[in-house]
Structure 1
Amino acid sequence: MVFENGVLDAYRQKGDWLADELMQKLFDKHGHKLGSILMPFLSDFDQHDFSEQDYETIAFFENNQSLPTFYDLKEIVRATEFFKKYQASIGIILGCYSLPYCYLGEDGARVLGFSGRIQHDTYNRLLETGKFVKNVMTQRFWEEKTITILLLKVRLMHAFWRFMILKSGKWDMKWGVPINQEDMLGTNLSFSLIVLRGLRKLGVEVDSVFEKAYYHHWAVVGSFLGLEKELLVFDVQKAIMFDKAISKRQFRSSEIGKQLTASLGNSYQKMANSELATGYFVAQSRYLLGENYADLLGLPISKYPKNLLKTINNTTSFLSNIYG
């Protein structure tokens, strides 16, 4: 299956109609108070009880908790075990590769720049992302099926921001719908394809059995987050096809991409309380992204030799503490 630009253009104009419909109903009921009512619940990943929410929200959770028909617990177990084994390296990859990779898509990155939160509250944003990844990759939450509540919360959080950005009247639809299907697919690939690619770049041999499980895992996650069936990825061939198409269409040098990347590096420096962290972030990101993509994001030339970078990878822990 090959997607041409016209088809992908259509996916840029699609959000998540089920979640978007709910947001419209809730806004009609609460108006601009909706954020203060809904967001504390959605951002609390430890709260699984939704019984005190609006009846429309309760219905959404009750009607969308079912696991997809392709769900295979054995594959989930394999994926979570794989994550646990390589969590230190995956933490490095998520922080220095996956996130900057997403910033290469200018139109998708505009959503993060729209609120300014990623630039001014990067640390908390990173902690939220880290907690999301930790929960999603914890086997117990899948066995208990509490993970479905978390994923539906994230889905509604995306719908809330999509609704409010469009409501502001400041969004140009030539960029596509905020948090559209193409950008959701790209983000999903940054947690699957890019993580696996990053591990290989760090010298890890990824067994095909665990590779298949990892794609399965993130396909399940994607289905809960509102990604359409046609865009779910179960193998490396389809992942590469989508990745090439999206990068060709969306990746370019942009001010928002450079700002987000610089803010990410500054946040790591603050977390590590050392200027060396910025140098490490630049060196590792340049290595994982490649020189061309690193230049598009405005990353300076690294002065770290590769042997020093390898030593730091084996000894540093602050990225692993966030994402591992």
Structure 2
Amino acid sequence: MPHTDASMNALRQSGDELADATVAALFERGEMGSFNTLMRFFSTAGAPVPEGLPDVAREYLRATSSPPAWVDWEEMERARLFFIDNNVHISTALSFASMPACYLVPHVAKLLSTTHGLDYPSTRMAATGQFTVYLMRPDAFEAGSRFIPAAQKVRLLHASIRHHLARENRWDTETAGVPICQEDMIGGQMFFSLLVLDSLHRLGIHMSEEGAEAYYYAWRVVGAMLGVDQDAVPGSLDDARRFLDRYMIRHMGPSPEGVRLTRQLIDLYEDVVPGTLLDPVVPALVRYLVGDTCADWLDVPSAPAWDTLVKAMPHLLGVLETIEDRSPLGAWALDRLGHLTTLFELSSLTRGRVMHYAVPEHLRKEYGVPDAPPRTRRWTPPAATLAP
């Protein structure tokens, strides 16, 4: 069913009933501290539930310990192969398009600023990257995987943020809706799925229809495990385009928080790039993927020479794809290079550590509001729509 402004307004008043009730019960009983201590040791699926875990938390972990019953595992395997074939490109799109897109929604940028600690952007980026790598492993949904516990913890983290901001009256729900509401969670799902596919297309990456649809499907499964109401999520890429266009038209714009978050993102990746000679590539790539208007809203620096150079990337990637298509050895070498590049980027952000998700017991200063499927046909993005 197509979304309207009325239906999307209703989504702004909904959170995640299961996770919200779990967090509320833990805080009411004063058990959040012991729960966090125990959860740090619960990082692999199928591991024994830690002793001493509060009953309400134990029940939550049981209820969220497996993916939805409707998952098509053949489609998920196609998504995994798509990720392997395009891992470095997907990482690029997530880092230089999906994250800045979040900052283009002022109330989302404000919430990110108030809940993630502006002084530690690498933690936010590392957690996102690690989460995605966990998702696309062959054992992501099996005993021993790290993806399911990570999803369970992220879901509780979101619920704790809603709990704190509502309890302490630090969020204008009348104007901005419930913090991390269903509309914003669906919007985020679109940023990490459809917007990634858009960015790969803009980079000139050869994608099949089957691969693109499988990647989008995988993020529907992820969304369900993060508490997103999939009955309200577009089921096809065409419907996803209509939702994302309407969502961005409703909300996107400039904000001080968006500018600051983007500046931190650029600084972070300039630090990851060896030396300083290639630093201008970072803002040029962000500008290329999000467009000049959005880049101006985010105050992304413009350097005409580098902006022009980045626009040549599709031609270079096209040459590499030709090598990959015509040479099995070349395909293996490029896939291996992409895998190593992704691991290098992630290790640079995590400093070799596993990122933990802890539910805040209170809003400390940094949390508060201070004042390969077969390449048959190229995937073509659904046409842009103008929401009335």
TM exceeding 0.5:
yes
* Unpaired runs of at least 5, structure 2: 321-336, 348-388
Deviations 1:215-266 (CA, angstroms, capped at 9, x unpaired): 1111111111111122334321111011011101110111111111111111
Moved more, 45-54 or 284-293: 45-54
Structure-2 change in CA distance of 1:229 and 1:216 (3 Å): same
Aligned mates of 1:65, 1:116 — CA distance in 2: 26
Give the 5 Å matches for 1:53-72: 53-72=53-72
Judge conservation of contact 2:44–2:144 (CA < 8 Å) in 1. Answer: no
In the alignment, residue 218 of structure 2 is paired with which amino acid? H
Structure-2 change in CA distance of 1:113 and 1:318 (3 Å): farther
How far the C-alpha of 1:285 sits from its partner, in A, is: 0.8
Moved more, 186-195 or 142-151: 142-151
Structure-2 change in CA distance of 1:145 and 1:220 (3 Å): farther
- Partner in structure 2 of residue 196 of structure 1: 197
Deviations 1:159-196 (CA, angstroms, capped at 9, x unpaired): 11221222232211111111111111111111110111
Structure-2 change in CA distance of 1:65 and 1:46 (3 Å): closer
- Partner in structure 2 of residue 271 of structure 1: 272
- Partner in structure 2 of residue 46 of structure 1: 43
Query: TM-score when scaled to structure 1?
Result: 0.90
Determine helix, strand or coil for the equivalent of 1:71. coil
In the alignment, residue 162 of structure 2 is paired with which amino acid? R
- Partner in structure 2 of residue 248 of structure 1: 249
Question: Which structure: larger Rg?
Answer: 2
Aligned mates of 1:121, 1:37 — CA distance in 2: 25
Moved more, 19-28 or 135-144: 135-144
Backbone CA RMSD of aligned residues: 2.6
Judge conservation of contact 1:12–1:181 (CA < 8 Å) in 2. Answer: yes
Aligned mates of 1:319, 1:283 — CA distance in 2: 20
- Residue 131 in structure 1 maps to residue 130 in structure 2: yes
Judge conservation of contact 1:219–1:233 (CA < 8 Å) in 2. Answer: no
Structure-2 change in CA distance of 1:55 and 1:195 (3 Å): same
* Unpaired runs of at least 5, structure 1: none
In the alignment, residue 15 of structure 2 is paired with which amino acid? G
- Partner in structure 1 of residue 367 of structure 2: none
Aligned mates of 1:11, 1:276 — CA distance in 2: 46
Judge conservation of contact 2:16–2:227 (CA < 8 Å) in 1. Answer: yes
Deviations 1:89-125 (CA, angstroms, capped at 9, x unpaired): 11111111010011111112221111351x2011122
Deviations 1:134-172 (CA, angstroms, capped at 9, x unpaired): 001112222448433332221111111221222232211
Structure-2 change in CA distance of 1:145 and 1:236 (3 Å): farther
Moved more, 120-129 or 44-53: 44-53
- Partner in structure 2 of residue 210 of structure 1: 211
Aligned mates of 2:301, 2:188 — CA distance in 1: 25
By percentage of residues, which structure has more helix? 1
In the alignment, residue 149 of structure 2 is paired with which amino acid? I
Aligned mates of 2:99, 2:41 — CA distance in 1: 22
In the alignment, residue 127 of structure 1 is paired with which amino acid? A
Moved more, 138-147 or 213-222: 138-147
Judge conservation of contact 2:80–2:136 (CA < 8 Å) in 1. Answer: yes
- Partner in structure 1 of residue 11 of structure 2: 11
Deviations 1:31-69 (CA, angstroms, capped at 9, x unpaired): 7xx2x4444555678344433321111111112334323
- Partner in structure 2 of residue 83 of structure 1: 83
Judge conservation of contact 1:96–1:288 (CA < 8 Å) in 2. Answer: yes
- Residue 108 in structure 1 maps to residue 108 in structure 2: yes
How far the C-alpha of 1:74 sits from its partner, in A, is: 0.8
How far the C-alpha of 1:17 sits from its partner, in A, is: 1.2
Percent identity (aligned): 28
Aligned mates of 1:42, 1:245 — CA distance in 2: 38
Aligned mates of 1:160, 1:39 — CA distance in 2: 12
Structure-2 change in CA distance of 1:319 and 1:68 (3 Å): closer
Deviations 1:71-98 (CA, angstroms, capped at 9, x unpaired): 0111111111111111111111111101
Structure-2 change in CA distance of 1:63 and 1:105 (3 Å): same
Determine helix, strand or coil for the equivalent of 2:268. helix
Judge conservation of contact 2:61–2:152 (CA < 8 Å) in 1. Answer: yes
Determine helix, strand or coil for the equivalent of 1:267. helix
Aligned mates of 2:124, 2:41 — CA distance in 1: 13
Judge conservation of contact 2:12–2:182 (CA < 8 Å) in 1. Answer: yes
Structure-2 change in CA distance of 1:278 and 1:255 (3 Å): farther
